[in-house]
């Protein structure tokens, strides 16, 4: 059971708090960050950690806990901000992001950061590991579910589709694959670099049950997550998002893949993210 179970309004407030953390965290990092990728998945991670996941800071070793994997490991900034808000480590750690000897390196490292389940960074690794964890849970008759967020650009990695074959073959309906489909990646539009559309048709062809949602609309995200069925097929949620969502001068702009707020941009972003 999730320890918070927030309603939609509370989740939306939490998402704004997470976005404010993302702005400050990336602005303060000596090594930059991935502001656009962080912002696109805020609603997804906030809904997971404050309503859906059966996990809590005092149950990180519980054999029945749900597992979350940040497959798009470069968007770790958002992940850290959500974990801090959920109590896995002190919020003041966020000010140390990518500093020397920090508990918060530039990609997820489970040996350094409480709450991290898998070291990720090289794309295409999250789903194969998730499939192994889901298969083990099935064979142990465990109630746990395995959730992960992938980027749409990440789906160019063939390891994802090998893993998808295995997930469907073994009937792993305890796995939830969430695609953060923000349509942009490092060098431009995903459709121009390696088009994955029609994405829903591809997942269905691999034997998946597919749901689509508006990934930056909290009610739509929660409805998709709570409507999942465990009926012998792996679950895929295609979350249609906007890269940089929530900040007008960042959203939808590919240059913010690596850019971080500087100078007046910091205060402008925080002004837009004030609680209503």
pLDDT in tens, 253-266: 999 999 999 999 99
pLDDT (0 to 100) of residue 86: 98
Looking at residue 1, its pLDDT comes to: 85
Answer whether residue 169 shows pLDDT above 90. yes
Mean pLDDT (whole number) for 170-189: 95
Model confidence, pTM: 0.97
pLDDT grade for 71, boundaries at 50, 70 and 90: very high
CA distance 276 to 267: 17
Across the range 16-30, mean pLDDT stands at 98
Domain ranges of the chain: 8-273
Q: What percent of the residues of the chain are helix, what percent strand, and what percent coil, each to the nearest 5?
A: 45, 10, 45
Contact 155, 196 (CB under 8 A): yes
| CATH architecture of structural domain 8-273 | 3-Layer(aba) Sandwich (3.40)
pLDDT at 137: 98
Residues 6+ apart with CB under 8 A from 152: 179, 180, 181, 182, 183, 185, 190, 196, 199
Model pLDDT for residues 115-168, shown as the tens digit of each residue: 999 999 999 999 999 999 999 999 999 999 999 999 999 999 999 999 999 999
- HEC assignment per residue over 84-96: HHCCCCCHHHHHH
Q: Of the candidates 152, 90, 151, which has an alpha carbon nearest to the alpha carbon of residue 121?
A: 151
Average pLDDT, the chain: 96
Q: Is the pLDDT of residue 194 over 90?
A: yes
Return the ∠ at Cα 87 (arms to 235 and 41), rounded to 5°. Answer: 40
CB atoms within 10 A of CB 133: 21
Q: How far is CA 238 from the centre of its chain?
A: 12
Strands annotated E in 9-112: 67-70
Asked whether the beta carbons of 21 and 94 are under 8 A apart, the reply is yes
Name which of 203, 204, 216, 199 is nearest 153 in CA terms: 199
E strands present in 158-204: 175-181, 184-185, 188-189
Closest CA to 164 of 217, 126, 137, 136: 126
């Amino acid at each position: 059971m999730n320890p918070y179970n927030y309603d939609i309004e509370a989740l939306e407030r939490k998402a704004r708090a997470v976005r404010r953390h993302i702005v400050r965290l990336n602005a303060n990092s000596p090594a930059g960050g991935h502001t656009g990728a962080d912002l696109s998945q805020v609603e997804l991670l906030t809904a997971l950690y404050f309503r859906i996941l059966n996990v809590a800071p005092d149950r990180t070793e519980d054999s029945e806990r749900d597992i979350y994997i940040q497959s798009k490991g470069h968007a770790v900034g958002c992940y850290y901000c959500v974990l801090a808000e959920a109590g896995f480590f002190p919020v003041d750690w966020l000010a140390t992001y990518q500093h020397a000897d920090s508990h918060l390196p530039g990609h997820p490292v489970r040996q350094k950061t409480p709450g991290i389940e898998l070291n990720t960074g090289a794309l295409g690794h999250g789903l194969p590991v998730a499939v192994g964890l889901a298969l083990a849970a099935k064979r142990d008759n465990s109630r746990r579910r395995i959730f992960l967020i992938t980027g749409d650009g990440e789906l160019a990695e063939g390891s994802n589709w090998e893993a998808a074959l295995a997930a469907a073959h073994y009937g792993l309906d305890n796995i939830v694959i969430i695609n953060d489909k923000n349509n942009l990646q490092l060098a431009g539009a995903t459709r121009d670099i390696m088009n994955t559309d029609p994405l829903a048709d591809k997942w269905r062809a691999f034997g998946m049950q597919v749901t689509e949602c508006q990934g930056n609309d909290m009610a739509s995200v929660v409805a998709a997550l709570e409507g999942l069925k465990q009926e012998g097929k792996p679950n895929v949620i295609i979350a249609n998002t906007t890269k940089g969502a929530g900040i007008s001068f960042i959203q939808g702009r590919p240059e913010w893949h690596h850019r971080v707020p500087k100078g007046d941009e910091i205060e402008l972003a925080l002004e837009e993210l004030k609680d209503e």
